[in-house]
Amino acid sequence: DVKVTQSSRYLVKRTGEKVFLECVQDMDHENMFWYRQDPGLGLRLIYFSYDVKMKEKGDIPEGYSVSREKKERFSLILESASTNQTSMYLCASLTGSRNTEAFFGQGTRLTVV
């Protein structure tokens, strides 16, 4: 059974903390993504990566960075967490074949207090 696993379901962090969200996939997919999901705003792409050590900004990269040192792992970093980064964060992976779907993790609900 294919899997995308996010390290935490729920996180509570303080303003100004450095936060790491980890995502691991076991499907040998080239492409990985981080989205945030907020009520009424749908899914918004933060960053994606199409290969190890490669990254591209999505629609809302400000305040975030990413790391992909190994093919199976894609980390989202909040350098200095702020309350407006309270959200649901979703990781996804996708193979290179055009006809295939993306697989999602279960989501991390982050609260910044």
Q: How many CB atoms lie within 10 A of CB 74?
A: 29
Instruction: Check residue 111 for interaction with other proteins (CB under 8 A).
Output: no
Pick 50 or 71: Cβ nearer other proteins: 50
Pick 15 or 106: Cβ nearer other proteins: 106
d(CA 14, CA 97): 41
d(CA 53, CA 45): 18
Pick 42 or 69: Cβ nearer other proteins: 42
Interface residues for other proteins in 69-88 (CB under 8 A)?
Answer: none
- Helix, strand, coil in percent for the chain, rounding step 5: 5, 55, 45
Instruction: Check residue 101 for interaction with other proteins (CB under 8 A).
Output: yes
Q: Which stretch binds other proteins (CB under 8 A): 12-20, 63-71, 79-87, 104-112?
A: 104-112
